[in-house]
Chains A and B, each alone.
Chain A
Amino acid sequence: MFERFVKDVRRAVVRAAEQEAQELGSVTVEAEHLLLALAADEDSAVGRLLAGSGLDHDGLYAALERETERSLAAVGVALTDFTPLRPTAPRRQPRFAASSKSALHRTVQIAASRKDGYITPPHLLVGILRADIGTVSRALAAAEIDRVELLTQAEGLLG
């Protein structure tokens, strides 16, 4: 299924997500890196929808940092400046972690259940936003964005 997804259409988004992960010094590609890749495409319908909720690439980035800050604070770790931690030599081939694989699997299932013979960025956005637990949902909460409402809007893009 995962292979079909990659082959099908979204090679570009998947590649962009890998780059997002590398730029952040992440050893894995997570669902949030897929979302960052979607947000980076500002002129797309998905990019515009996200920007409408304040989640353009920078906005999403800020929301993710806020989430990390909050989560660390919960165990008494304070981190306000991430810049010194950004490695100058990123890991070369980050691997897809469970969160991104699940999002991609959901995306394929959504397209299949709608009998869409193709997968588009809106399918992927819906696949990412359907997860009610995890970093993405927590980042949205940290940015005071209603995930369910955003999901409904994303589903609207599917037509």
Chain B
Amino acid sequence: MTETIPDFPTDPGDGLAAAVALRRLADRVEDAEVERALRAGWTWSQVADALGVTRQAVHKKHAKRLAAGGAAQGRR
């Protein structure tokens, strides 16, 4: 079996920058996928379950921006 997990970076600066980049990537993936799911007809509750957070939390975070962009309907 091939080793696919790389060694952790030796320079802590690289490791810390990786944490920053991953956090930003996660934010961007979440924004894009919440929008996609709602456009595809998912409800806020389903999105919340998929993300493992409460419906209130996901709604608070995304409803405003998506309403402005026209993605979110009045779905619960």
Contact = CB atoms under 8 A, between A and B. Distances in A.
B18 A75 contact: yes
The dominant DSSP class at the B interface is helix
Contacts of A67: 17, 21
Contact of A26 (B14, B24, B32, B69): B24
Interface residues of A, number: 24
Given A75-B8, A75-B9, A76-B6, A87 B18 contact: no
B71 interface: yes
A59 interface: no
A71 B32 contact: no
A105 interface: no
Contacts of A90: 65
B46 to A, nearest CB: 19
Q: Find the residue from A74, A77, A84, A86 having the highest chain B CB count within 10 A.
A: A74
Given A74-B15, A133-B13, A91 B65 contact: yes
Contacts of B64: 92
A22 to B, nearest CB: 9
A86 B32 contact: yes
Interface of A: 25-27, 67-68, 71-72, 74-77, 79, 84-92, 133, 135, 138
Interface of B: 4-6, 8-9, 13-15, 17-18, 20-22, 24-25, 27-29, 31-32, 35, 64-66, 68-71
30 contacts: A25-B31, A26-B24, A67-B17, A68-B21, A68-B24, A71-B14, A71-B18, A72-B25, A74-B15, A75-B8, A75-B9, A75-B15, A76-B4, A76-B6, A77-B22, A77-B25, A86-B28, A87-B31, A87-B32, A87-B35, A87-B65, A88-B35, A88-B69, A88-B71, A89-B31, A89-B35, A89-B69, A90-B65, A92-B68, A138-B17
